[in-house]
């Protein structure tokens, strides 16, 4: 089995490592810069350049032996860059057996804090999530026409070593914005990696939420992280009067509790880090 990732970023690199431990002989993917390509080559990852603005000249050749392709590039203002520039290369990939698309739980929109699952209607509240809905539809249509299984993973807020509340606290950028009743799901990057690898092995098809077991108020996560590393808990900031960028404020428009039951049942697993407390404890231990 050989995997190819469109977009070797934070989650994809962890997924690539997990795939190596699950029987994949070769891992490749796209990056945006020659510097990153050189760094990953030293780790045994075959890379090709693709910035989303124009076709990657070596992507077609790299896909020639790929059996599993993971799509981890966000749609832009026009459409999905991979679909736009490399659909023909995917059509020509003779060994293709499985596709996986990383989407977002943002496609659901706001449910006033209620629990939802994959049957919930999609009512996105911003253009980023609107584009994700369209991209999901495009990849479903493609997979059906191509005759290969497609697994869509709708990811909650991603965190892990090097990208967590600890980093924001240490940088002085963590803010406890209080909006009564607001909760968010999160997902540890190692759970994304493990589930991607297991789904690839099984050639799992369908649409699944990838979120933790315990959606929680963001201020609780910051307070817990601060206590773990012996820092002062940042002061409460009322949502109504706190200065935020339009993107930051848009996240607070969606309030829901996202069920992960379907992916756990499909793979017969529990999460490695089912809540923010276990996830933060793991990150802290890995730093030590």
Distance set, CA 191 to CA 34, 141, 143, 211, 288 (Å):
29, 27, 25, 9, 21
236-238/68-71 β-pairing: unpaired
Residue-averaged pLDDT of the chain? 96
Burial zone of 62 (CB within 10 Å; 0-12 exposed, 13-18 middle, 19+ buried): buried
pLDDT band at 261 (very low <50, low <70, confident <90, very high): very high
Report the pLDDT value the prediction gives residue 43, as an integer from 0 to 100. Answer: 84
Q: For 262-278, what is each residue's pLDDT tens digit?
A: 999 999 999 999 999 99
pLDDT value of position 288 = 85
User: What is the tens place of the pLDDT at every residue in 56-109?
Assistant: 999 999 999 999 999 999 999 989 999 999 999 999 999 999 999 999 999 999
Confidence of residue 201 (pLDDT cuts 50, 70, 90): very high
The structural domains of the chain, with segments of one domain joined by +, span 2-159+186-213+257-273
Provide CB contacts within 8 A for 185, sequence distance 6+: 105, 156, 157, 211, 212, 215, 256, 257, 258
End-to-end CA distance of the chain, in Å?
Answer: 35
Q: Residue 29: pLDDT band by 50, 70, 90 thresholds?
A: very high
pLDDT bin (cut points 50, 70, 90) of residue 206 is very high
Pull the structure tokens for residue 37: 């390509």
Q: Specify the length of the chain in residues.
A: 288
Distance in angstroms (rounded) separating the CA atoms of residues 155 and 91: 27
Half-sphere exposure of 143 (CA within 13 A, CB side): 25
Quote the tokens at residue 45. 């990852």
- The residues, ordered by sequence, that sit 6+ positions from 10 with a Cβ below 8 Å of its Cβ are 158, 160, 163, 189
Supply the pLDDT for residue 138. Answer: 97
Q: What is the pLDDT of residue 169?
A: 98
Q: What is the band of 42 on the pLDDT scale with cuts at 50, 70, 90?
A: confident
Q: Please provide the CATH number assigned to the domain covering 2-159+186-213+257-273.
A: 3.40.50.720
Q: Could you report the per-residue pLDDT of 141-152, keeping only the tens digit for each?
A: 999 999 999 999
Sorting pLDDT into bands at 50, 70 and 90, what band is 125?
Answer: confident
Q: What does the alpha-carbon distance between residue 57 and residue 51 come to, in Å, rounded to a whole number?
A: 11
Q: What CA–CA distance (Å, rounded) separates 217 from 206?
A: 29
CA distance 87 to 90: 5
Q: What is the CA angle 17-21-25, rounded to 5?
A: 85
Q: What percent of the chain has pLDDT over 70?
A: 100
User: Residues 29, 5: contact at Cβ < 8 Å?
Assistant: yes
Pure H helices in 92-180 = 127-146, 165-171
- What band does 36 get if pLDDT is binned at 50, 70 and 90? very high
Measured in whole angstroms, the distance separating CA 116 from the mean position of its chain's CA atoms is 19
d(C-alpha 171, C-alpha 270), whole Å? 33
As a whole number, mean pLDDT of residues 180-200 equals 98
**In this predicted structure, what is the pLDDT of residue 182?**
97
Q: Name the DSSP letter for residue 54.
A: S
Q: What is the pLDDT of residue 168?
A: 97
């Amino acid at each position: 089995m050989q995997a190819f990732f469109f977009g070797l970023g934070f989650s994809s690199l962890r997924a690539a490592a997990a795939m190596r431990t699950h029987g994949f002989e070769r891992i490749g993917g796209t990056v945006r810069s020659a510097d990153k390509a050189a760094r990953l080559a030293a780790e045994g990852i075959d890379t090709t350049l693709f910035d989303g603005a124009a076709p990657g000249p070596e992507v077609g050749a790299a896909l020639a032996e790929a059996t599993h392709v993971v799509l981890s590039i966000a749609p832009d203002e026009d459409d999905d860059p991979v679909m736009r520039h490399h659909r023909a290369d995917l059509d020509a990939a003779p060994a293709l057996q499985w596709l996986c698309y990383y989407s977002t739980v943002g496609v659901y929109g706001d449910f006033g804090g209620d629990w939802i699952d994959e049957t919930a209607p999609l009512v996105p509240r911003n253009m980023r999530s609107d584009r994700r809905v369209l991209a999901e539809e495009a990849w479903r249509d493609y997979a059906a026409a191509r005759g290969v299984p497609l697994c869509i993973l709708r990811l909650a807020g991603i965190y892990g070593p090097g990208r967590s509340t600890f980093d924001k606290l240490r940088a002085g950028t963590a803010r406890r914005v209080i909006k009564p009743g607001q909760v968010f799901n999160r997902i540890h990057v190692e759970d994304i990696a493990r589930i991607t690898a297991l789904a690839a092995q099984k050639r799992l098809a369908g649409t699944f939420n990838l979120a933790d077991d315990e959606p929680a108020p963001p201020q609780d996560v910051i307070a817990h992280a601060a206590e773990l590393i012996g820092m002062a808990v940042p002061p409460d900031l009322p949502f109504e009067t706190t200065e935020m960028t339009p993107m930051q404020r848009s996240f607070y428009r969606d309030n829901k509790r996202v069920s992960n039951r379907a992916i756990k049942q499909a793979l017969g697993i529990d999460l490695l880090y089912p809540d923010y407390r276990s996830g933060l404890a793991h990150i802290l231990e890995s730093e030590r």
